[in-house]
Amino acid sequence: MHASALPKWKDMPPVKGERHGFAWGLFDKEGIKDELGTLNLLTPETTLAAKDEIRTGRSVALNWGLDKVSQEAFGRSVLRHELVNWREKEAFPFYSWDDEISINTQTVGWFTWVPGLFAPRDDQLTKCLGGHWGNSHTGNYYNGWHHDQVTKGPQLGIENWTKKGGILGRGVLLDYVAHAARNNISYSPMSDHAITVADLDAMAAHAGISFRPGDILLLRMGWTKWYDEHGDEDRAKYVANAYAWAGVKGCEETLEWLWDHHFAAVASDNNGFEVVPMDDNWRLHDFLLPGWGMPIGEMWDLEALAAECERQQRWTFFLTSSPLNLPGGVASPPNALAIF
């Protein structure tokens, strides 16, 4: 379905057993249940339009280091990285090293496009945490698969994004760190400071951004910057042993704003996109992931991107992301680039 044919938030058709605002069935084709959600908005036409953002040839990587999260939180392991010295292997005459890594894709570096849209298969070898996020009230995942069945078949694996050809489109950055500085707003990324629709509109207006369907929305909160600038004691106090982080306010106004702009995906440099603690009545995770199939990127490194946007005085760019080709995968590092 083209974005122009999608209903507005207030006109979205009802979905049996779910609250208003679920997009199940809207992207189905020829009776086949869709598995891409709002990524369907990344059409060849939107990609061709986004190429016009490439004007200088400068690029910025958006991947926070896999080793950055230094302490376990919520029972999730941190990166384990070992080097294999092949000179020590019997009868191996060459000089060579290998990497062996073990990561939890929900915590190491960033959560990325799919924490909650997909669930791990029974035969998945990498460490995953159940389905991570279906609708917290019903247990249903995108397009109606339930928590107890979603791992029993081939549906909803992250490999669908590889089959699509990756994620290519126009990225837009809303920089709340800069917005707060301009408006004398004092806040900590490690607090329940909520960003409203009025804030989002003000940032877009300042940057001169006119949103287009299929845009990939990035939001800079300063979360990874805070983490990089603090030591293990503060990280333990405000991350591993805390549950309050700045982010987008969960409410119907926010949901209407996000849906009616028809973003293909959203991402941020914090560890939830939405403010934490989440509002149980308007939890954005419950709508974006299982409701719309909209990927949420978390803990992206947006510092160099913000600096480049400021230098060029434009906050739009060509964005690419090539997630892991992991059948049945739950999440992935973004492997994302912004190209100007």
Cα gap 59→48, rounded to integer Å: 18
Residue 111 binned pLDDT confidence (cut-offs 50, 70, 90): very low
Is the residue at 82 inside a domain? no
In this predicted structure, the answer to whether residue 3 has a pLDDT above a threshold of 80 is: yes
Residue 100 included in any domain: no
Tell me the average pLDDT across 97-114.
57
The set of residues, in sequence order, having a beta carbon less than 8 Å from that of 17 and lying 6+ positions away, is 138, 140
Q: Would 99 be classed as within a structural domain? A: no
Quickly count: other Cβ atoms within 10 Å of residue 334's Cβ: 30
- Return d(Cα 141, Cα 131) in angstroms, integer: 9
CATH code for the domain of 33: 3.50.30
User: Three-class SS of residue 58?
Assistant: coil
- Is 77 a domain residue? no
Indicate whether 83 belongs to any domain.
no
The yes-or-no verdict on residue 25 having pLDDT over 50 is: yes
Of 138, 135, 254, 147, residue with least CA distance to 196: 254
In degrees to the nearest 10, what's the CA dihedral of 322, 323, 325, 329?
-170
Q: Is residue 113 part of a domain?
A: yes
For residues 7-33, give the mean pLDDT.
95
Number of domains, the chain: 1
pTM across the whole model: 0.86
Rg (CA), the chain: 20
* Nearest one of 255, 249, 111, 271 to 193, comparing CA atoms: 249
**Residue ranges making up the domain that contains 244:** 3-72+107-339
Lowest-pLDDT range of 49-63, 88-102, 255-269, 281-295? 88-102
Q: Is 152 a domain residue?
A: yes
CB of 68 within 8 A of CB of 226?
A: no
Residue 280: CB atoms within 10 Å: 10
**Mean pLDDT computed over 237-249:** 94
The pLDDT score that the predictor gives to residue 61 is 96
Extract the tokens encoding 119.
Answer: 């669930």
Average of per-residue pLDDT across 129-157: 70
In a domain, 268, yes or no: yes
Which of the four pLDDT bands, split at 50, 70 and 90, describes residue 123?
very low
The per-residue pLDDT for 217 is 98
Q: What is the pLDDT of residue 73?
A: 60
